[in-house]
């Protein structure tokens, strides 16, 4: 499945996997984010942190008649303000997708799947 972007020169089709990877990479640059979580989430009450090469598994891209929507499943660092981390991730992902692909994202939904203590 692809997302189509119209330009004056023609159509560009971008695979959803590409958008998911870019969004996951952009999110990981945000302060307070420990990692991406699997969308399948809880198995015995534990979240599975995804490695760098599997970031796209914590991101879901949906396209409907209203536009493009992104759902992100994240794990935040203990001691950070969750609402600020979520807002920063939303802003960074929207900005990055706009700059890299020219893709207008209508919503970035953040689902916090857990809080982890990190060794800094």
What range does the domain containing 54 cover? 2-116
Quote the pLDDT of residue 99: 94
Name the DSSP class of 37: B
Q: With a threshold of 0.75, does the pTM exceed it?
A: yes
Element (H, E) at 101: helix 82-101
Quote the CA–CA distance of 4 and 110 in Å, as a whole number.
24
pLDDT tens profile 28-73: 999 999 888 876 654 434 455 545 556 677 899 998 888 889 999 9
Report the domain count for the chain.
Answer: 1
Q: Are 74 and 30 in contact (CB under 8 A)?
A: no
Domain CATH code at residue 87: 3.30.70.1350
């Amino acid at each position: 499945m692809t997302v189509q972007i119209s330009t004056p020169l023609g159509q560009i089709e971008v695979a959803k996997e590409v958008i998911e990877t870019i969004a996951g990479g952009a999110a990981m640059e945000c302060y307070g984010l420990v990692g991406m979580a699997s969308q399948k989430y809880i198995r015995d009450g534990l979240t599975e942190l995804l490695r760098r090469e599997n970031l796209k598994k914590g991101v879901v891209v949906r396209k409907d008649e209203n536009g493009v929507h992104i759902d992100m499943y994240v794990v935040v660092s203990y001691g950070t303000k969750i609402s600020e981390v979520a807002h920063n991730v939303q802003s960074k992902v929207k900005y990055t997708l706009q700059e890299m692909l020219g893709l207008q994202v209508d919503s970035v939904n953040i689902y916090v799947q857990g809080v982890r203590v990190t060794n800094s």
